[in-house]
């Protein structure tokens, strides 16, 4: 039986939520179709998750930005804007971190691979910023942690955000 390789991690070792932490709780799960119009549902879901965990309004911006960027990459680059493919979002909290996982069945793509995007951390100047191609840079800048797993039937990107206190 083939198993997925271990998750690739960046940031801290606590940046990876174990697979078993993502429980099939309807409040903590959202299924999307592979269409950009579906991204409008994500902000409300993140707000609901953040409300349950007492996350401040200021701390929500990085969550929403990173999730929208990662999901847009899945739709645009993984599925080439072809509708009809499932993308499942999960959330869980542990040890002062709120984790969001994105499961898809697109071709393998490890955003933590140094060859995935060799862009510098930031542009040289505001004038040099080009549209597109900034998603991975934004994830690396705003997420507290990133972890990638190649699953037997797809990919999982787990994005972690420090939260001061949990209810």
Q: Which pLDDT tens digit goes with each residue over 120-163? A: 445 555 454 444 567 788 888 899 999 999 999 999 999 999 98
124 lies in a domain?
A: no
**What are the tens digits of pLDDT across the range 69-80?**
999 999 999 999
- How many domains does the chain fold into? 1
2 lies in a domain?
A: no
149 lies in a domain?
A: yes
78 lies in a domain?
A: yes
- Give the per-residue pLDDT at 1: 32
Confidence check: pLDDT of 61 > 50: yes
119 lies in a domain?
A: no
118 lies in a domain?
A: no
φ, ψ at 47 (rounded to 5°): -60, -40
The answer to whether the CB of 109 falls within 8 A of the CB of 149 is no
**What are the tens digits of pLDDT across the range 99-117?**
999 999 999 988 888 766 5
The CA distance from 162 to 67, in Å, is 15
**What are the tens digits of pLDDT across the range 15-35?**
445 455 554 555 699 999 999
Range of the domain at 53: 24-113+135-162
- Give the per-residue pLDDT at 13: 36
The CA distance from 29 to 72, in Å, is 18
CATH of the domain at 66: 3.30.565.10
167 lies in a domain?
A: no
Confidence check: pLDDT of 90 > 90: yes
What is the DSSP track for 57-123? HHHHHHHHHHHHHHHHHIIIIISTT-SS-EEEEEEEEETTEEEEEEEE-SSP--TTSTTT----SS-
5 lies in a domain?
A: no
The answer to whether the CB of 71 falls within 8 A of the CB of 148 is no
């Amino acid at each position: 039986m083939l198993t997925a390789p271990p998750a690739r991690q960046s940031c801290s070792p606590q940046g990876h939520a174990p697979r078993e932490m993502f429980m099939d709780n309807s409040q903590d799960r959202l299924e999307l179709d592979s269409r950009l119009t579906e991204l409008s549902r994500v902000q409300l879901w993140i707000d609901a998750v953040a409300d349950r965990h007492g996350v401040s309004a200021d701390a929500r911006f990085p969550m929403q930005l990173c999730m929208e960027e990662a999901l847009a990459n899945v739709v645009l680059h993984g599925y080439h804007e072809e509708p009809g493919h499932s993308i499942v979002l999960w959330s869980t909290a542990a040890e002062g971190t709120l984790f969001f996982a994105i499961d898809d069945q697109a071709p393998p793509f490890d955003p933590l691979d140094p060859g995935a995007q060799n862009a510098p951390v930031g542009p040289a100047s505001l004038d040099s910023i080009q549209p597109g191609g900034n998603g991975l840079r934004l994830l690396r800048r705003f997420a507290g942690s990133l972890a990638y797993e190649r699953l037997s039937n797809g990919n999982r990107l787990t994005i972690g955000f420090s939260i001061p206190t949990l209810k």
